[in-house]
Amino acid sequence: MLKQHRELSMSIRRTIENNEEAGIRPSKTYQSFVAAAGGHRELNFIEKDVRNYITREVQNVSKQEDAKKFGKYLLRMKETNPNFFFELELEEDQSIKLAFWADARSRAAFEYFGDVILFDTTHNTNRYSLVCGSFVGVNHHGQSTLLGCSLMKNEEIESFKWLFQCWLCCMGENVPKGFLIDQCASMKRALEACMPTTIHRWCIWHIMKKIPSKLNGYKGHAEIEQEMTQVVWNSHSKDSFDSNWNDFLLNFRLVDNKWLLGNVCLKSTAEV
């Protein structure tokens, strides 16, 4: 069937929308149309048209509705507690582009536990492909303390700049002494622009979790991983780390490993 002759009637569209909301798969929705019409040839559209409509119209409307509900939630939280802080930026289609929020408890906690901050974007929401980020500090008991949350449409430099500026505004422009991030180049550049006086370091946790995938091609990789862990966590000064690290590279013949050599953050971590 030629594309220009294919179309979805209003009743068909409404059925697709209802089925999508009920969680019915597009293939089953299409098959129900086939059964009702008495065969594929009796329909003036194909299954791909059903899927395209869901992607183009239904999910887009859902994004807009959820963004509207989220905005109302943030306003309601602000009305409940004036110390609740948020910023929300929408796309032209009214879906979420950027969002940041922190409650009164997080803002108060920053005054006590805001010397060194970890910003983590390892969690992604599946439905809208938004990047979920969190600002985290550590309290006197060694426990993680949430100091703000965010949603981002992308991980571009300007998005991170917007986010870091919002966070600083929320925290009264008080700049932390140290800031830990993952190995994201755009995040690093944005952080340098927004907090030039803060010590920036890569988060050792993000680096260490990559060891299995980066070194499993080596013979005895389990021993390598164990020794590397010992060097990183049991070197208590820069000099001892440098010495132990060099011995580690030589003993396991890893002096030419580009990933290990590129992670100067390991040395930087020992200096913090």
Q: pLDDT, tens digit, for every residue of 117-170?
A: 999 886 565 567 788 999 999 998 889 999 999 999 899 999 999 999 999 999
Tell me the one-letter amino acid at 29.
T
The label of the residue with tokens 């887009």 reads 60
Options 3.30.420, 1.10.10, 3.40.50, 3.30.720; CATH for 84-202 is 3.30.420
Distance CA 187, CA 164 (A): 10
Sorting pLDDT into bands at 50, 70 and 90, what band is 14? Answer: confident
Q: What residues are paired with 118 via a beta bridge?
A: 136, 180
Distance CA 75, CA 62 (A): 20
Collapsing DSSP to helix, strand or coil, 67 comes out as helix
Highest mean pLDDT among 7-11, 83-87, 248-252 belongs to 83-87
Rg (the chain; Cα; Å)? 26
> Residue 44 pLDDT > 50, yes or no?
yes
260 versus 67: which is more confidently predicted? Answer: 67
Sorting pLDDT into bands at 50, 70 and 90, what band is 62? Answer: low
Average pLDDT on 188-215 reads: 86
The label of the residue with tokens 């068909």 reads 12
Distance CA 231, CA 198 (A): 26
Q: Two tokens at 209?
A: 């979790």
Average pLDDT on 169-181 reads: 94
Tally of CA atoms within 13 A in the half-sphere of 242 that contains its CB: 5
> Residue 220 pLDDT > 80, yes or no?
no
Across the chain, mean pLDDT equals: 84
